Chain A
């Protein structure tokens, strides 16, 4: 059963702590993406990766970091430098980022920082 998994679904952290959100896909897709969603703001791109060991900043990368050591995995770390980290985070993948195609989304992780 192919798809994208994100864990955990809900995550709570204290201010000042780094936190890592997991994203795994078994679709054999080359490209993976991280989005942040806030009410009334749509989806904003944080980071994306075309291939293993390569990634690019999106529109709102400040305060976030990523790694792509395996094709299947693209974890996102929300650092203490992110000024407003409470949000809903969505991971997506697509077969490639060099030709147009739809993106497939995971179920999301809701992060609450207090």
Chain B
């Protein structure tokens, strides 16, 4: 069964600093990978996705992520964090086989941004 691990439960960075959120997945075939962001009490918004091709994908709000098959990772990065980036971030892997396509989510990383 597929699974997603986000090793960091909570990360604190200063505004303007760079950010990297880690995501490791377990899946036998080529994964479909996603990063979502959730503000408190809100739904999830898609930041970016990887299906195939270029392993460095660009998303909204200045985020990017790199797929590394050899490390089973899909880490999210941003060169300079803004206070508005404070939120919870979820990595997800999609099942690329079978008749019913579903997502499996990690448990999330809460990002705090200090002024």
Contact = CB atoms under 8 A, between A and B. Distances in A.
Contacts of A97: 100-102
A48 B44 contact: no
Nearest to A44: B105
B111 to A, nearest CB: 15
Interface residues of A, number: 31
A102 B101 contact: no
Interface stretch (A11-19, A60-68, A72-80, A104-112): A104-112
Nearest to B94: A100
Contacts of B41: 88, 108, 110
A105 B44 contact: yes
Interface of A: 4, 31, 33, 40-45, 48, 50, 56, 58, 88, 90, 92, 94, 96-108, 110
B96 A42 contact: no
Contact of A43 (B9, B32, B90): B90
A3 to B, nearest CB: 10
B9 A40 contact: yes
B42 interface: yes
